Amino acid sequence: MGQKVNPIGFRLGVYRNWDARWYADKEYTKLLHEDIAMRRLIGSRLRNAGLARIETERSANQLTVIIQTAKPGIVIGKQGASVDALRDELERISGKKVRVTIHEIKTPELDATLVAENVASQLEKRIAFRRALKQTLMRSMRAGAKGVKIQVSGRLGGSEMSRREWDRDGRVPLHTLRANIDYGKAEARTTFGRIGVQCWLYLGDFVTATGEPIAPGKDRAEDRGLEDRVPVPAARITEAPAEEVTAVTETVDIPDVEIEEIPTEDVVEIDEDEEVIAAAGVDPAATVEKVEKLTPKRAPARRKPVVAKKPVSVSRAPKKLVKKTDAPAEVVEEEEE
């Protein structure tokens, strides 16, 4: 059995940053339990708000909570009433001044936690799990993901034996540290038990160690400045104006050269074959005599016509015995001839 590693924890400190950005030496246990209580409170209050990620930052006398959600309107409420109530409860838990910041997720199809929650909500509505998986995969790939993998486990379809089913589209390189893989999980609470949903999203590769990923659908060569390797569309190619192009011409003084005139009377037309023979230094008359001596003319030999022989037919039938009779002498002579 393969041991699965959490993709987010696998990349912490290398390409990804922590969700809780604070340090404590003596009060670490107390602050850790405060963080867990605050996350549970926010998750329960904003269950239907498309909550993706909660980040916390601590200073001396202030606590900053960053909420990433797909539906910021539900989190804020009418005239900010929901945010104020949430802030008061967080201050009561931590005992410090709390600052709440809300970030909107514009493409929820590219967030693993939101994708897993979407599949879980469909399973709670009694939609077939295979159909839910394929529809969710298609939406994420259309949104610009390079690879998606979703796995559901539990009593699928109300069966007595629990099992795991998964589906994947594209590529999900889990062993590549440079790959920006988002991981999320959710639970579907059905009448016959809970069904767990896991989602892996491959969004591209990280450029720097600060965690700046390449935007989905964008070539890596463009971000690294290698535009000469990337084909430029025809719309971006513009012709240079005619004013910028300047032709450079130089004048060269040619000295006067005397040209001798060849009289036409002395010119003799020479054939091309004769020029080749003269250049080789071979006398044409001598070569013709040698060729004639080496190859004497011979009359072609006449062949006798071949007469086709008649096929001899062999009969395997037994010969008939013919009785000798006294034939006349004239007939016998003719036979002998």
Q: What is the pLDDT of residue 144?
A: 93
Q: What is the pLDDT of residue 42?
A: 92
From CA 291, how far away is CA 122, in angstroms rounded? 101
pLDDT tens readout for residues 145-172: 999 999 999 999 999 999 999 999 999 9
Q: What is the pLDDT of residue 77?
A: 85
Q: What is the pLDDT of residue 207?
A: 79
Residue 269 has pLDDT above 60, yes or no: no
Residue 278 has pLDDT above 70, yes or no: no
CA distances from 337 to 268, 323, 332 (A): 86, 22, 9
pLDDT tens readout for residues 211-248: 555 554 444 444 444 334 444 444 444 444 444 545 44
Q: What is the pLDDT of residue 281?
A: 59
Q: Where in the chain is the domain with CATH 3.30.1140.32?
A: 109-227
Q: What is the pLDDT of residue 291?
A: 45
The residue with greater pLDDT, 252 or 123, is 123
Most confident of 26-30, 244-248, 264-268: 26-30
Q: What is the pLDDT of residue 321?
A: 54
In the CATH hierarchy, which fold is given to the domain comprising 7-106? GMP Synthetase; Chain A, domain 3 (3.30.300)
| Residue 281, token pair as written in the block | 């230094």
Once rounded to an integer, what is the mean pLDDT over residues 106-118? 94
Residue 37 has pLDDT above 60, yes or no: yes
Q: What is the pLDDT of residue 226?
A: 39
Once rounded to an integer, what is the mean pLDDT over residues 103-126? 94
- Pick from 141, 134, 136: nearest CA to 117: 136
Q: What is the pLDDT of residue 221?
A: 43
55 pLDDT tier (thresholds 50, 70, 90):
very high
253 pLDDT tier (thresholds 50, 70, 90):
low
From CA 105, how far away is CA 52, in angstroms rounded? 8
Residues sharing a CB contact under 8 Å with residue 55, sequence separation 6 or more, in sequence order: 19, 20, 21, 65, 66, 68
What is the side-by-side strand order in the sheet with 147-154?
163-170, 147-154, 193-205, 179-190
Q: Which residues pair with 197 in a beta bridge?
A: 152, 186
Q: What is the pLDDT of residue 4?
A: 83
Q: What is the pLDDT of residue 125?
A: 93
Once rounded to an integer, what is the mean pLDDT over residues 71-95? 89
Q: What is the pLDDT of residue 222?
A: 44
State the pTM of this model: 0.60
Q: What is the pLDDT of residue 228?
A: 40
Average pLDDT value over all residues in the chain = 76
254 pLDDT tier (thresholds 50, 70, 90):
low
In the CATH hierarchy, which fold is given to the domain comprising 109-227? Ribosomal protein S3 C-terminal domain (3.30.1140)
Once rounded to an integer, what is the mean pLDDT over residues 130-141? 95
Q: Where in the chain is the domain with CATH 3.30.300.20?
A: 7-106
Q: What is the pLDDT of residue 220?
A: 44
pLDDT tens readout for residues 176-212: 999 999 999 999 999 999 999 999 999 999 876 555 5
- Pick from 156, 152, 116, 153: nearest CA to 136: 116
